Amino acid sequence: MNKAKKVKNIQLLLNRLYPKISVPLKHRNTFTLLISVLLSAQCTDKNVNSVTKNIYKKYYKPEHFVSLGRKKIEKLIRSIGIFRIKAKSIYNLSKTLVEKYKGRVPKTFEQLEALPGVGHKTASVVMSQGFGYAAFPVDTHIHRLGQRWGLTNGKSVIKTEEDLKRLFPKKHWNKLHLQIIYYGREYCKARECYGLSCKICTTCYPNRKKPLITKKA
């Protein structure tokens, strides 16, 4: 099956399964979305949502986190992985937003990626889910599935993003990256499908017999 046919089949199935999609990280505004994405590194969305549920009731602006200071931020997010590093990033980026952007989250990749603790993937999520700008954030689920489905060689996350952007229409990127994440969590799991059992894998590669070992992000 050629890539054009795969792309068509993948979109048809994903649209059937997930006609409407919601942002998995709960947030109050664009700033709290940025914070939640930063917290989600090496941590499940479920855990992040559980921790931030009470935080965002009271603290939801950069000024709030600057006033809290690093140590108090650490206490608030203590149950999240590498919380000290994340607390430092949250404090420093909040300080930068207050001092440089009047407390507002900037709307360009360049400005977002210059913030403490913010990489390209985090910036892409904020641009896509926060501002509605066409972007294709690639997390570990998407990187793995892109390889399993024969859409990329998996040499790097950057290459995966480039390949997927080239294959799928730009107007679908924002919805599609979330659909793929949900599908990966529900059907094409890292330690269950191995490229052999889910509907998309069996459709794209009906003759595949051996488990596919993907390259890590």
Active site residue 121: yes
State the Cα angle at 13 between 9 and 17, rounded to 5°. 170
158 burial via Cβ count (<10 Å: 0-12, 13-18, 19+): exposed
Catalytic one of 121, 163, 175, 199 = 121
Catalytic one of 6, 86, 139, 163 = 139
Helix-, strand-, coil-residue percentages of the chain, each rounded to 5: 60, 0, 40
CA 214: distance to chain centroid?
19
Structure token pair of residue 113: 């990626």
Q: Which residues contact 154 (CB under 8 A, 6 or more apart)?
A: 143, 146, 147, 160, 214, 215
Q: Which residues contact 204 (CB under 8 A, 6 or more apart)?
A: 1, 6, 9, 10, 149, 150
Active site residue 45: no
Catalytic residues: 121, 139
